Amino acid sequence: MAISFFKKSQNQLLKSDLKLSYNKNVNNPLILQAKISSIYSLTGTSYSGLVSTYIVWILHITDITSIDLIISFTLTFLLEIMTAVLILPRIDLFRETRPGEIRIIKLHDFRGGLTTGVLTLSRHSPFKSIIFVGDEDDSITRTIEAHELGHATEHHPIFLELSVIFLLSIIGPLIWFVGFGNIMNREVISIFLVIKTVLIILSVVIAILLFMRVAESRADAFAYKVIGKSAYENLVEALRRTYGENIKSPEDAPLVSKISHTSSRNAIKTGDPLSSIGIWEFPVVLSFIASTIAIIPFNSIGIIYPLLFVGTLVISFLIGLVSLPIVRKYYRMTERGSLNFSFLLAGIYMISSIIALDAYPNYT
Ligand SMILES: [Zn+2]
């Protein structure tokens, strides 16, 4: 499955609308990122403020329930998506980028690479992507470019855009409601509801982190398919250029790099995107999400939450190990990759069963 996906991506890469342009301004990516994040924080704060003001001041709701929270999250999310789709494709370098195009901008003295993308309204394609790389013509820059093309062809920046908007639409209304309740004395919100929402926010944050690590590994595997065996050595050299001469392996890179990427960067050696992910990552993250979903119908959190977490962790490990022999037959890449894929399936299975249980209100 993974292999055919890569074949597809590579064909897309050959066929895709690539356009190269040269630009001397190294600050471009930073300015663009700063503009995008300020638009997110501005719209996130104002929309959630408007929605919670409407609920408290116009509808005169004094006791905030989970339904009020869900309505506020949904309204804020829809308003933010609408704004992002209308504004972001029109700012700065995105204005000159056609829908469906992967634009590569070569910058002088630029280390590493950066891919950004936004959703846009167009019949041609809903995506606009820009890749920033250095302008040197060597194998190291080509490896970085291949890695960034992996991100662009699989639309990782778009998934990130959607998940950041999703996260902001939960955080925004919660902050406004808690602020209203405490400072203005206009409404009350129960502490359990606040704790449960904070658990949901934490689950989304760690899910985004795991998604970023998988996306980085997929981009690494993509670079391996394009560049071949020398990709790993080129990556180490690229890290050396960015972080200094004493980098001997990806493990020596600073923590910022090792949180969003994986520390082994195995995927660029093996071509298997799941070979860089630690075996504890899927079970721990998916069990955290599963226990957060499982706690929602409960009226207390205290001891139940850690118990649920340990329980789901043990169960997902066991299901993952039991289904490993079957998964291995289909996955056919590295052993670590098969194990991780089996744990991923086990975690998804567990989360879906818990959602199914939650859907029956009187199952207790
Ligand atoms: Zn990357």
The rounded Å distance from CA 259 to ligand 1 centre is: 12
The rounded Å distance from CA 112 to ligand 1 centre is: 9
* 363 compared with 271, residue with greater pLDDT: 271
The rounded Å distance from CA 141 to ligand 1 centre is: 13
The answer to whether 159 and 211 are in contact (CB under 8 A) is yes
Q: Are residues 307 and 218 in the same domain?
A: no
Q: Which two tokens stand for residue 229?
A: 């065996």
The rounded Å distance from CA 235 to ligand 1 centre is: 11
* 93 compared with 184, residue with greater pLDDT: 93
Is the confidence at residue 1, as pLDDT, over 60?
no
The rounded Å distance from CA 157 to ligand 1 centre is: 10
Domain boundary among 242, 275, 308: 275
| Residue 230: burial class (beta carbons within 10 Å; 0-12, 13-18, 19+) | middle
The rounded Å distance from CA 207 to ligand 1 centre is: 17
Q: Are residues 255 and 328 in the same domain?
A: no
Q: Which two tokens stand for residue 327?
A: 């998964």
pLDDT of the residue at 6: 46
Alpha-carbon span 105 to 212, nearest angstrom: 23
Residue 204's pLDDT band (cuts 50, 70, 90): very high
Q: Which of 342, 187, 208 is nearest to 279 (CA)?
A: 342
Q: Are residues 183 and 326 in the same domain?
A: no
Residue 323's pLDDT band (cuts 50, 70, 90): very high
Residue 339's pLDDT band (cuts 50, 70, 90): very high
pLDDT of the residue at 19: 60
Alpha-carbon span 275 to 293, nearest angstrom: 28
Is the confidence at residue 37, as pLDDT, over 50?
yes
Residue 5's pLDDT band (cuts 50, 70, 90): very low
pLDDT of the residue at 7: 47
Stretch 154-174: mean pLDDT: 94
The rounded Å distance from CA 115 to ligand 1 centre is: 8
Asked if residue 329 belongs to a domain, the reply is: yes
Q: Are residues 141 and 230 in the same domain?
A: yes
The rounded Å distance from CA 358 to ligand 1 centre is: 37
pLDDT of the residue at 278: 94
Residue 167's pLDDT band (cuts 50, 70, 90): very high
Q: Are residues 254 and 348 in the same domain?
A: no
Asked if residue 2 belongs to a domain, the reply is: no
The rounded Å distance from CA 15 to ligand 1 centre is: 22
Alpha-carbon span 210 to 77, nearest angstrom: 22
Rounded to the nearest integer, the mean pLDDT of the chain is 89
The answer to whether 241 and 111 are in contact (CB under 8 A) is yes
Q: What angle do CA 221, 209, 325 make, to 5 degrees?
A: 55
Is the confidence at residue 12, as pLDDT, over 60?
no
Is the confidence at residue 3, as pLDDT, over 60?
no
Phi-psi category of residue 228: left, alpha or beta, with phi > 0 → left and psi -120 to 50 → alpha: left
Alpha-carbon span 266 to 192, nearest angstrom: 42
Is the confidence at residue 130, as pLDDT, over 60?
yes
Stretch 143-153: mean pLDDT: 96
Q: Which two tokens stand for residue 199?
A: 């658990």
Alpha-carbon span 239 to 246, nearest angstrom: 10
Q: Which of 296, 266, 285, 282 is nearest to 327 (CA)?
A: 282
Domain boundary among 249, 275, 301: 275
The rounded Å distance from CA 326 to ligand 1 centre is: 31
pLDDT of the residue at 162: 94
Q: Is the dihedral of CA 340, 313, 171, 296 positive or negative?
A: positive
Q: Are residues 32 and 168 in the same domain?
A: yes
The rounded Å distance from CA 199 to ligand 1 centre is: 28
Alpha-carbon span 237 to 231, nearest angstrom: 10
Stretch 221-239: mean pLDDT: 94
Q: Are residues 201 and 312 in the same domain?
A: no
Contacts of 172 by beta carbon, 8 Å cutoff, 6+ apart? 44, 45, 47, 48, 49, 76
pLDDT (tens digit per residue) in 342-358: 999 999 999 999 998 87
The rounded Å distance from CA 147 to ligand 1 centre is: 6
The rounded Å distance from CA 251 to ligand 1 centre is: 16
Q: Are residues 262 and 289 in the same domain?
A: no
pLDDT of the residue at 181: 78
Alpha-carbon span 23 to 355, nearest angstrom: 50
Q: Are residues 180 and 287 in the same domain?
A: no
Q: Are residues 320 and 269 in the same domain?
A: no
pLDDT of the residue at 362: 62
Alpha-carbon span 349 to 316, nearest angstrom: 9
Asked if residue 1 belongs to a domain, the reply is: no
Is the confidence at residue 26, as pLDDT, over 70?
no
Q: Are residues 344 and 221 in the same domain?
A: no
Strand partners, 64: 189
Residue 170's pLDDT band (cuts 50, 70, 90): very high
pLDDT of the residue at 4: 45
pLDDT of the residue at 28: 80
**DSSP of 107-118:** ETT--SEEEEEE
pLDDT of the residue at 316: 94
Q: Are residues 178 and 109 in the same domain?
A: yes
The rounded Å distance from CA 51 to ligand 1 centre is: 36
Domain boundary among 221, 242, 275: 275
* 106 compared with 15, residue with greater pLDDT: 106
Q: Percent of the chain, pLDDT > 70?
A: 91
Range of the domain at 86: 14-275
The rounded Å distance from CA 14 to ligand 1 centre is: 20
Q: Which two tokens stand for residue 304?
A: 């139940």
Asked if residue 196 belongs to a domain, the reply is: yes
The rounded Å distance from CA 129 to ligand 1 centre is: 14
Stretch 321-349: mean pLDDT: 95
Q: In this structure, what are the phi and psi dihedrals at residue 104, rounded to the nearest 5 degrees?
A: -105, 120
